[in-house]
Amino acid sequence: MASVGRYGKGYSIRYWYETETGEYKQKRVCGFKTKEEAWAAAKSLEMKSSAGIEVNIKNMTCGEVMERWFAEHVPGLAPTTVAKYNDGIDKLERYFVSELPVKKLNQARFNLLIEQLTKDVALSTAVSNTEPLRLSLSWAAAQGIIPVNPLASVKLPNVPNKLQVILSDDDVDELVAAATSPARRCTDYRIPLLLVLYGGLRREECAGLRWEKVDFKKNRITISEAVVMTPDGKEHIKDPKTKLSSRTISLPRFVMDELETEYAKFLSRSDEYIMKNNPAHRVCVTSTGEPYSLKSYSHPLKRLIREINAQRESDKKPRMPSPSFHDLRHTHAAMLIRRNVQPKIIQERLGHASIKITMDLYGYLMPGLQDSVAVLFDDEKKPPNLRAVK
């Protein structure tokens, strides 16, 4: 039975719990600002006390909170999310925070954790690694397992956006030509390359595209699956990144022609061969007929760029920038902007959750939009002079 009473300037909860040996002990949880807040937590504690859950803030460590959160909350999530959080907890076990009492965690110690993490990984990864800690403390406070979340007002470090590498139209033409040249030995790579450059697909969406989702009559593809990699290195099929990531987009006729050529190869293979190498009927496959793994999407691109730049150096021409595969998605957006495609269409084509994401990512590429508004008015008949208002 739990009870609520005054404790210092706030309120506390007293409750009984049963130990593993069958004994009943009393504990106090402090730190509630109002009586209503304390009673709300008391109801939760009454339910948990029968399971032998100890909620003494003085003894509970951050590691214990994360483990309890993971055991009770995370298993209902997607397998990739579960693996991500499990990996994060495992990584945080190597640092002081795992054994640190929750009550001693504050902004200074959180900053120290980030500092230690960034000695081993990039800042963006370090912030990501702390996600299980932040989520578990928020969950535990909401459940009444701990009185308050010590990281409720913590400020995360600003992670600078990675500089986008965007190719020019000439660079894109040369890259596609190199990928389709038999001499380059990358002809099987032309399909994912065309999908990202002229469709804006993410790497995970290229890997998840099936032949059933290609409509040759309407020159369209439907993106409804994505292949993602869990922290333990396994690939997993899931829904696209957001609801709006499930979308149908049109592709240029020359891209559809290349897809038709590849589809003919797929149909010419025996059922036995397909069941062995590509039972899911994936579109992006290697020369052996097996789907590209997520890790292998960048290797042919780097090789193509290397060969192109070797030729350019020989011809004494400027080098081509070295984009990542995801940078080619940025290049697709830039190509649309250069052709005056409206931002809303770009958002829908890329599958962004909101127009804000599109503008935040590519707004800097649209400075000409403001100037174009003035030009539109200049092109029209100028209005008569307005009378001066006395």
Say which residues have a Cβ less than 8 Å from residue 206's Cβ, sequence separation at least 6: 192, 195, 196, 283, 284, 292, 297
- pLDDT in the model for residue 23: 58
Closest by CA to 127, choosing from 160, 80, 81, is 160
The CATH number assigned to the domain with range 57-158 reads: 1.10.150.130
Residue matched to tokens 């990281």? 151
pLDDT of the chain, 390 residues: tens digit per residue: 566 777 666 777 766 555 556 555 666 676 677 877 777 777 666 555 544 444 444 568 898 889 888 888 777 777 778 878 888 888 998 899 988 988 889 889 999 999 999 998 889 889 999 999 999 999 888 887 788 888 988 888 888 778 899 999 999 999 999 988 776 666 789 999 999 999 999 999 999 999 999 999 999 999 999 998 776 677 888 877 667 788 999 999 999 999 999 999 999 999 999 999 999 999 999 988 899 989 889 999 999 999 999 999 999 999 999 999 999 999 999 999 999 999 999 999 999 989 999 998 998 888 766 666 666 666 665 555 554 444
Q: Where are the domains of the chain?
A: 1-55, 57-158, 169-371
Secondary element (H or E) of residue 51? none
Bridge partner residues of 282 (DSSP): 210
State the Cα–Cα distance between residues 85 and 288, nearest whole angstrom.
Answer: 35
pLDDT at 21: 63
pLDDT of res. 390: 43
- The DSSP bridge partners found for residue 18 are 24
The helix (run of H) or strand (run of E) holding residue 93 is none
The whole-number pLDDT of residue 387 equals: 47
Q: What is residue 244's predicted lDDT score, i.e. its pLDDT?
A: 74
Q: Cα–Cα distance between 41 and 29 in angstroms, integer?
A: 10
**What pLDDT sits at residue 380?**
60
Multiple choice CATH, 169-371, 3.10.20.740, 1.10.443.10, 3.30.70.870, 3.20.20.70: 1.10.443.10
Burial degree of 323 (CB within 10 A; 0-12, 13-18, 19+): buried
The per-residue b/e assignment along 344-382, b for 16 or more CB within 10 angstroms, e otherwise, is eebbbbbbbeeeeebeebbeebeeeeeeeeeeeeeeeee
Question: Within 13 Å, how many C-alpha atoms sit on residue 63's CB side?
Answer: 11
